[in-house]
Amino acid sequence: MSQTHLGKSIYSLKIKIKNMTIGDETFQKILVSQIKEMNGALARQKTLYELLGEERPHSITNSGHIYIFDKNVLMRVASLIPRFRYDELKLPIYLYVDLNVPDQYYINNELQAEVFKKLGNLGDGYQFRDGKLWIPRSIGRQIHRQYPTILQYFWLP
What pLDDT is stored for residue 123 in this prediction? 92
Residues 30 and 51 in one domain: no
Q: Which domain holds residue 16?
A: 3-39
- For residue range 40-92, list pLDDT tens digits in order: 899 999 999 999 999 999 999 999 999 999 999 999 999 999 999 999 999 99
Per-residue pLDDT band for 16 (boundaries 50, 70, 90) equals very low
Residues 70 and 106 in one domain: yes
- Specify the number of domains making up the chain: 2
Q: Which of 33, 152, 36 is nearest to 96 (CA)?
A: 152
Per-residue pLDDT band for 21 (boundaries 50, 70, 90) equals low
Residues 21 and 53 in one domain: no
The answer to whether 10 and 3 have CB atoms below 8 angstroms apart is yes
DSSP 3-state assignment of 17?
Answer: strand
Indicate whether 103 pLDDT > 80: yes
Q: At 107, which helix (H) or strand (E)?
A: strand 104-107
What pLDDT is stored for residue 135 in this prediction? 97
Residues 60 and 82 in one domain: yes
Reduced to 3 DSSP states, what percent helix, strand and coil does the chain have, rounded to the nearest 5?
35, 30, 35
Q: What percent of the chain has pLDDT over 90?
A: 73
Residues 148 and 97 in one domain: yes
How confident is the model over 134-154, as a mean pLDDT?
97
Q: Which of 139, 138, 140, 82 is nearest to 111 (CA)?
A: 82
What pLDDT is stored for residue 91 in this prediction? 99
Residues 90 and 56 in one domain: yes
What pLDDT is stored for residue 29 in this prediction? 76
Q: Which of 105, 99, 95 is nearest to 31 (CA)?
A: 99
Residues 103 and 51 in one domain: yes
Residues 94 and 141 in one domain: yes
Q: Between the CA of residue 98 and those of 46, 107, 147, what are the distances in Å? A: 24, 11, 21
Mean pLDDT of the chain: 87
**13-17, 24-28, 80-84, 124-128: the lowest-pLDDT one:** 13-17
What pLDDT is stored for residue 1 in this prediction? 40
The answer to whether 47 and 90 have CB atoms below 8 angstroms apart is yes
Residues 24 and 97 in one domain: no
